[in-house]
Protein backbone atom coordinates (compact mmCIF):
# COMPACT_ATOMS: atom_id res chain seq x y z
CA UNK A 1 0.00 0.00 0.00
CA UNK A 2 2.60 2.49 1.14
CA UNK A 3 4.45 2.13 -2.15
CA UNK A 4 1.91 4.32 -3.88
CA UNK A 5 1.75 6.84 -1.08
CA UNK A 6 4.69 8.63 -2.55
CA UNK A 7 3.36 11.39 -4.82
CA UNK A 8 6.38 11.25 -7.10
CA UNK A 9 5.84 7.56 -7.69
CA UNK A 10 2.16 8.18 -8.24
CA UNK A 11 2.85 10.91 -10.79
CA UNK A 12 5.26 8.65 -12.58
CA UNK A 13 2.74 5.80 -12.66
CA UNK A 14 -0.08 8.09 -13.74
CA UNK A 15 2.03 9.47 -16.58
CA UNK A 16 2.57 5.96 -17.85
CA UNK A 17 -1.07 4.89 -17.61
CA UNK A 18 -2.71 8.00 -18.97
CA UNK A 19 -1.57 7.83 -22.61
CA UNK A 20 -3.03 4.33 -22.82
CA UNK A 21 -6.30 5.15 -21.12
CA UNK A 22 -6.63 8.29 -23.23
CA UNK A 23 -6.05 6.33 -26.43
CA UNK A 24 -8.51 3.59 -25.47
CA UNK A 25 -11.12 6.17 -24.52
CA UNK A 26 -10.80 8.09 -27.78
CA UNK A 27 -10.83 5.03 -30.03
CA UNK A 28 -13.67 3.34 -28.16
CA UNK A 29 -15.73 6.54 -28.17
CA UNK A 30 -15.24 6.95 -31.91
CA UNK A 31 -16.04 3.35 -32.77
CA UNK A 32 -18.85 3.08 -30.22
CA UNK A 33 -20.26 6.41 -31.34
CA UNK A 34 -20.27 5.33 -34.96
CA UNK A 35 -21.88 1.95 -34.30
CA UNK A 36 -24.45 3.26 -31.88
CA UNK A 37 -25.52 6.13 -34.13
CA UNK A 38 -25.31 4.60 -37.59
CA UNK A 39 -24.67 0.90 -37.54
CA UNK A 40 -27.10 -0.57 -35.04
CA UNK A 41 -30.78 -1.42 -35.44
CA UNK A 42 -33.53 0.87 -34.22
CA UNK A 43 -35.90 -0.68 -31.71
CA UNK A 44 -39.23 -1.69 -33.26
CA UNK A 45 -41.10 -0.17 -30.32
CA UNK A 46 -38.92 2.80 -29.45
CA UNK A 47 -37.50 3.43 -32.93
CA UNK A 48 -34.45 5.72 -32.99
CA UNK A 49 -34.72 6.88 -29.39
CA UNK A 50 -33.24 3.60 -28.27
CA UNK A 51 -29.85 5.06 -29.20
CA UNK A 52 -29.96 7.12 -26.02
CA UNK A 53 -29.34 3.83 -24.27
CA UNK A 54 -25.72 3.81 -25.45
CA UNK A 55 -25.02 6.81 -23.25
CA UNK A 56 -27.61 6.23 -20.57
CA UNK A 57 -26.68 2.68 -19.60
CA UNK A 58 -22.91 3.21 -19.26
CA UNK A 59 -23.50 6.45 -17.36
CA UNK A 60 -25.89 4.74 -14.95
CA UNK A 61 -23.46 1.88 -14.35
CA UNK A 62 -20.52 4.18 -13.86
CA UNK A 63 -22.41 6.44 -11.47
CA UNK A 64 -22.59 3.55 -9.02
CA UNK A 65 -19.05 2.37 -9.72
CA UNK A 66 -17.74 5.85 -9.03
CA UNK A 67 -19.40 5.94 -5.63
CA UNK A 68 -17.78 2.59 -4.86
CA UNK A 69 -14.41 4.10 -5.81
CA UNK A 70 -15.08 7.05 -3.51
CA UNK A 71 -16.05 4.72 -0.67
CA UNK A 72 -13.15 2.31 -1.18
CA UNK A 73 -10.66 5.17 -1.37
CA UNK A 74 -12.19 6.74 1.75
CA UNK A 75 -11.87 3.47 3.61
CA UNK A 76 -8.24 3.11 2.52
CA UNK A 77 -7.58 6.66 3.63
CA UNK A 78 -9.16 6.24 7.04
CA UNK A 79 -7.62 2.86 7.82
CA UNK A 80 -4.14 3.22 6.33
CA UNK A 81 -3.95 7.01 6.70
CA UNK A 82 -3.12 7.26 3.06
CA UNK A 83 -3.14 10.87 1.77
CA UNK A 84 -3.42 9.85 -1.88
CA UNK A 85 -6.48 7.76 -1.13
CA UNK A 86 -8.31 10.82 0.18
CA UNK A 87 -7.32 12.72 -2.93
CA UNK A 88 -8.57 9.89 -5.14
CA UNK A 89 -11.92 9.95 -3.36
CA UNK A 90 -12.10 13.70 -3.73
CA UNK A 91 -11.17 13.49 -7.40
CA UNK A 92 -13.69 10.76 -8.24
CA UNK A 93 -16.73 12.34 -6.57
CA UNK A 94 -17.47 15.19 -9.02
CA UNK A 95 -16.98 12.80 -11.93
CA UNK A 96 -19.46 10.43 -10.36
CA UNK A 97 -21.88 13.26 -9.75
CA UNK A 98 -21.51 14.33 -13.37
CA UNK A 99 -22.17 10.80 -14.63
CA UNK A 100 -25.17 10.52 -12.32
CA UNK A 101 -26.54 13.78 -13.66
CA UNK A 102 -25.92 12.51 -17.18
CA UNK A 103 -27.77 9.28 -16.40
CA UNK A 104 -30.70 11.26 -15.00
CA UNK A 105 -30.75 13.63 -17.95
CA UNK A 106 -30.56 10.93 -20.59
CA UNK A 107 -33.13 8.96 -18.62
CA UNK A 108 -35.52 11.89 -18.78
CA UNK A 109 -34.90 12.46 -22.48
CA UNK A 110 -35.39 8.78 -23.11
CA UNK A 111 -38.44 8.60 -20.89
CA UNK A 112 -40.32 11.37 -22.69
CA UNK A 113 -40.92 9.48 -25.97
CA UNK A 114 -41.00 6.07 -24.27
CA UNK A 115 -43.24 6.64 -21.28
CA UNK A 116 -44.73 9.91 -22.36
CA UNK A 117 -43.35 11.66 -19.30
CA UNK A 118 -40.08 13.42 -18.51
CA UNK A 119 -39.85 11.94 -15.09
CA UNK A 120 -41.17 8.63 -13.90
CA UNK A 121 -40.75 7.66 -10.25
CA UNK A 122 -39.56 4.21 -11.11
CA UNK A 123 -37.22 2.33 -8.81
CA UNK A 124 -34.08 2.66 -10.88
CA UNK A 125 -34.43 6.34 -11.70
CA UNK A 126 -35.25 7.13 -8.10
CA UNK A 127 -32.21 5.22 -6.82
CA UNK A 128 -29.98 7.14 -9.21
CA UNK A 129 -31.54 10.38 -8.02
CA UNK A 130 -30.78 9.51 -4.39
CA UNK A 131 -27.25 8.59 -5.41
CA UNK A 132 -26.92 12.04 -6.94
CA UNK A 133 -27.98 13.54 -3.59
CA UNK A 134 -25.36 11.45 -1.81
CA UNK A 135 -22.68 12.83 -4.13
CA UNK A 136 -23.87 16.38 -3.47
CA UNK A 137 -23.62 15.84 0.28
CA UNK A 138 -20.16 14.35 -0.02
CA UNK A 139 -18.86 17.21 -2.14
CA UNK A 140 -20.48 19.81 0.10
CA UNK A 141 -18.65 18.25 3.05
CA UNK A 142 -15.30 18.76 1.31
CA UNK A 143 -16.21 22.31 0.41
CA UNK A 144 -17.31 23.52 3.82
CA UNK A 145 -14.45 22.31 6.02
CA UNK A 146 -11.40 24.47 5.49
CA UNK A 147 -8.76 22.27 7.10
CA UNK A 148 -7.78 19.85 4.35
CA UNK A 149 -6.90 17.07 6.77
CA UNK A 150 -10.19 17.27 8.66
CA UNK A 151 -12.22 17.71 5.49
CA UNK A 152 -10.72 14.56 4.03
CA UNK A 153 -11.51 12.46 7.09
CA UNK A 154 -14.98 13.92 7.71
CA UNK A 155 -16.07 13.40 4.11
CA UNK A 156 -14.63 9.89 4.21
CA UNK A 157 -16.75 9.02 7.24
CA UNK A 158 -19.74 10.36 5.33
CA UNK A 159 -18.86 8.31 2.24
CA UNK A 160 -18.71 5.15 4.34
CA UNK A 161 -21.99 5.91 6.08
CA UNK A 162 -23.43 6.50 2.60
CA UNK A 163 -22.12 3.26 1.17
CA UNK A 164 -23.53 1.09 3.96
CA UNK A 165 -26.86 2.84 3.47
CA UNK A 166 -26.98 2.37 -0.30
CA UNK A 167 -28.32 -1.21 -0.17
CA UNK A 168 -30.98 -0.10 2.31
CA UNK A 169 -31.95 2.87 0.16
CA UNK A 170 -32.08 0.69 -2.96
CA UNK A 171 -34.18 -1.91 -1.19
CA UNK A 172 -36.56 0.65 0.25
CA UNK A 173 -37.01 2.39 -3.08
CA UNK A 174 -37.75 -0.89 -4.85
CA UNK A 175 -40.17 -1.85 -2.09
CA UNK A 176 -41.86 1.52 -2.34
CA UNK A 177 -42.09 1.13 -6.09
CA UNK A 178 -43.71 -2.31 -5.99
CA UNK A 179 -46.16 -1.21 -3.32
CA UNK A 180 -47.27 1.74 -5.43
CA UNK A 181 -47.20 -0.10 -8.73
CA UNK A 182 -50.92 0.48 -9.28
CA UNK A 183 -50.48 4.21 -9.18
CA UNK A 184 -47.85 4.49 -11.89
CA UNK A 185 -48.93 5.65 -15.32
CA UNK A 186 -47.40 3.21 -17.70
CA UNK A 187 -44.80 0.55 -17.41
CA UNK A 188 -42.56 -0.62 -20.20
CA UNK A 189 -40.04 -3.32 -19.50
CA UNK A 190 -36.47 -2.51 -20.37
CA UNK A 191 -35.81 -3.02 -24.04
CA UNK A 192 -34.74 -6.54 -24.77
CA UNK A 193 -31.26 -6.12 -26.05
CA UNK A 194 -30.78 -7.15 -29.62
CA UNK A 195 -27.49 -8.86 -30.44
CA UNK A 196 -26.47 -6.04 -32.76
CA UNK A 197 -26.90 -3.60 -29.90
CA UNK A 198 -24.40 -5.42 -27.72
CA UNK A 199 -21.26 -4.40 -29.62
CA UNK A 200 -21.83 -0.64 -29.54
CA UNK A 201 -22.98 -0.85 -25.93
CA UNK A 202 -19.87 -2.72 -24.86
CA UNK A 203 -17.68 -0.28 -26.78
CA UNK A 204 -19.33 2.64 -25.04
CA UNK A 205 -18.93 0.98 -21.64
CA UNK A 206 -15.25 0.45 -22.39
CA UNK A 207 -14.91 4.07 -23.50
CA UNK A 208 -16.55 5.34 -20.32
CA UNK A 209 -14.25 3.21 -18.17
CA UNK A 210 -11.11 4.38 -19.90
CA UNK A 211 -12.31 7.97 -19.75
CA UNK A 212 -12.99 7.58 -16.02
CA UNK A 213 -9.47 6.28 -15.41
CA UNK A 214 -7.91 9.18 -17.32
CA UNK A 215 -10.06 11.75 -15.60
CA UNK A 216 -9.46 10.43 -12.07
CA UNK A 217 -5.70 10.27 -12.61
CA UNK A 218 -5.68 13.77 -14.09
CA UNK A 219 -7.69 15.17 -11.22
CA UNK A 220 -5.49 13.51 -8.59
CA UNK A 221 -2.44 14.99 -10.29
CA UNK A 222 -4.13 18.36 -10.27
CA UNK A 223 -4.98 18.03 -6.60
CA UNK A 224 -1.37 17.10 -5.82
CA UNK A 225 -0.15 20.20 -7.60
CA UNK A 226 -2.64 22.28 -5.67
CA UNK A 227 -1.39 20.78 -2.40
CA UNK A 228 2.18 21.44 -3.43
CA UNK A 229 1.42 25.11 -4.03
CA UNK A 230 -0.32 25.32 -0.68
CA UNK A 231 2.60 23.73 1.15
CA UNK A 232 5.09 26.03 -0.55
CA UNK A 233 2.97 29.05 0.39
CA UNK A 234 2.77 27.87 3.98
CA UNK A 235 6.52 27.47 4.27
CA UNK A 236 6.98 30.90 2.71
CA UNK A 237 4.69 32.47 5.31
CA UNK A 238 6.32 30.49 8.09
CA UNK A 239 9.67 31.97 7.09
CA UNK A 240 8.33 35.49 6.66
CA UNK A 241 6.44 35.43 9.93
CA UNK A 242 9.58 34.70 11.85
- Contact positions toward other proteins, by CB under 8 A? 5-8, 83, 130, 133-134, 136-138, 140-141, 144-145, 147-150, 153-154, 157-158, 160-162, 164-165, 168-169, 171-173, 175-176, 179-180, 224, 227-228, 231-232, 234-235, 238
Dist CA 98 CA 3 (whole Å) = 31
Q: Are 134 and 162 in contact (CB under 8 A)?
A: yes
Nearer to other proteins, 57 or 70 (CB): 70
Q: Are 107 and 126 in contact (CB under 8 A)?
A: no
Minimum Å distance from CB 154 to other proteins?
5
Q: Are 137 and 158 in contact (CB under 8 A)?
A: yes
Q: Are 77 and 89 in contact (CB under 8 A)?
A: yes
Minimum Å distance from CB 137 to other proteins?
4
3 state DSSP class of 146: coil
Nearer to other proteins, 124 or 148 (CB): 148
Minimum Å distance from CB 87 to other proteins?
10
| Beta carbons within 10 angstroms of residue 203's beta carbon | 22
Nearer to other proteins, 50 or 125 (CB): 125
Minimum Å distance from CB 148 to other proteins?
7
Q: Per-residue DSSP letters for 155-202?
A: HHHHHHHHHHHHHHHHHHHHHHHHHTGGGSS---PPPPPPHHHHHHHH
Nearer to other proteins, 40 or 177 (CB): 177
Minimum Å distance from CB 73 to other proteins?
17
Amino acid sequence: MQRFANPARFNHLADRIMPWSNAVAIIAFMLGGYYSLFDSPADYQQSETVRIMYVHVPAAWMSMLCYMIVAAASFTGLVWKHPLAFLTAKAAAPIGAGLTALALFTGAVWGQPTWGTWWEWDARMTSVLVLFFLYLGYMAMWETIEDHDKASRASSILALVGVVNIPIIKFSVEWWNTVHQGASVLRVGGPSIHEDMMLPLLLMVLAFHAYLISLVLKRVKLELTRRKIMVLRQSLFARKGR
